[in-house]
Structure 1
Amino acid sequence: MERLTPARALYLWDMHDVFSLGRLAHQRRMELHPDPVVTYIVDRNINYTNICSCGCRFCAFYRPPGDPEGYVLSTEQLLAKIQETVDLGGYQILLQGGMHPDLPLSWYEAMLRTIKGAYPQVAVHGFSPPEIWFLSQQEGRSVTEVLERLRQAGLDSMPGGGAEILVDAVRARVSPRKCTAAQWLAVMEAAHALGMRTTATMMFGVGETMAQRLEHLERLRALQDKTGGFTAFIPWTFQPKNTQIAAAEVSSHEYLRFLALSRLYLDNFPNIQASWVTQGPHVGQLALWWGANDFGSTMIEENVVAAAGVHFRLPEPELRMLVERAGFIPKRRTMDYTIIEG
Structure 2
Amino acid sequence: MTDSNLKRIYDKVMAGERLSFEDGMTLFNSNDVLTIGEMAHHIRVQKNGLKTFYTLNQHINPTNICRNDCLFCAFYRKDGQEGAYRMSLETVRQKVLERIEEPITEIHIVGGLDDGLPYEYYIDVLRVVKEVRPNVNIKAYTAVEIAYLAERSGKSWAAVLDDLLEAGLNTMPGGGAEVFSERVKRKLFMDKLSADEWIEIHKIAHQKGIRTNATMLYGHIEKDEEKVDHLIRLRKAQDESGGFLTFLPLLFHPENTRMARLPMATGVEDLKHIAISRLLLDNFDHIKAYWVMLGKDVAQIALSFGADDIDGSVVEERIYHMAGARSSQMMTRSQLKKLISECGFVPVERNALYQSVNTETEIIDQV
- How far residue 44 of structure 1 moved from its aligned partner, in angstroms, is 1.3
* Aligned counterpart for 1:315 among listed residues 332, 344, 347: 332
1:225 equivalent in structure 2: 239
How many pairs does the alignment contain? 341
Matched, 1:332 2:349: yes
Matched, 1:254 2:262: no
2:281 equivalent in structure 1: 266
Letter of the structure 2 residue corresponding to residue 298 of structure 1: S
> Which secondary structure does the structure 2 equivalent of 1:203 belong to?
strand
> Which secondary structure does the structure 1 equivalent of 2:170 belong to?
coil
The answer to which of 312-321 and 134-143 deviates more is: 312-321
> Which secondary structure does the structure 2 equivalent of 1:157 belong to?
strand
Letter of the structure 2 residue corresponding to residue 180 of structure 1: S
Q: Percent identity, aligned pairs only? A: 36
Structure 2: 5+ residue stretches without partners: 1-15, 361-367
1:162 equivalent in structure 2: 176
- Give yes or no for contact 2:64–2:111 (8 Å, CA) kept in 1: yes
1:171 equivalent in structure 2: 185
> Which secondary structure does the structure 1 equivalent of 2:100 belong to?
helix
1:89 equivalent in structure 2: 103
- Give yes or no for contact 1:43–1:85 (8 Å, CA) kept in 2: no
Letter of the structure 2 residue corresponding to residue 256 of structure 1: L
- How far residue 118 of structure 1 moved from its aligned partner, in angstroms, is 2.2
Counterpart Cα distance in 2 of 1:291 and 1:85: 32
Letter of the structure 2 residue corresponding to residue 338 of structure 1: Q
Matched, 1:278 2:293: yes
1:20 equivalent in structure 2: 35
After TM superposition, the score normalised by the length of structure 2 is 0.90
Letter of the structure 2 residue corresponding to residue 337 of structure 1: Y
2:202 equivalent in structure 1: 188
Cα displacement string for residues 36-57 of structure 1 (whole angstroms, at most 9, x for unaligned residues): 2111111111100010001111
- 1:275–1:116 Cα change, 3 Å: closer
- Give yes or no for contact 2:55–2:311 (8 Å, CA) kept in 1: yes
- How far residue 247 of structure 1 moved from its aligned partner, in angstroms, is 1.5
> Which secondary structure does the structure 1 equivalent of 2:172 belong to?
coil
Counterpart Cα distance in 1 of 2:105 and 2:179: 30
Counterpart Cα distance in 2 of 1:215 and 1:177: 21
> Which secondary structure does the structure 2 equivalent of 1:86 belong to?
coil
- 1:45–1:311 Cα change, 3 Å: farther
Counterpart Cα distance in 1 of 2:46 and 2:199: 29
RMSD: 1.3
1:149 equivalent in structure 2: 163
1:300 equivalent in structure 2: 315
Counterpart Cα distance in 2 of 1:306 and 1:256: 21
- Give yes or no for contact 2:218–2:250 (8 Å, CA) kept in 1: yes
Counterpart Cα distance in 1 of 2:338 and 2:227: 33
Structure 1: 5+ residue stretches without partners: none
- Give yes or no for contact 1:55–1:64 (8 Å, CA) kept in 2: no
- How far residue 74 of structure 1 moved from its aligned partner, in angstroms, is 1.6
1:32 equivalent in structure 2: 47
- How far residue 243 of structure 1 moved from its aligned partner, in angstroms, is 0.2
Counterpart Cα distance in 2 of 1:188 and 1:296: 21
* Aligned counterpart for 1:47 among listed residues 58, 61, 72: 61
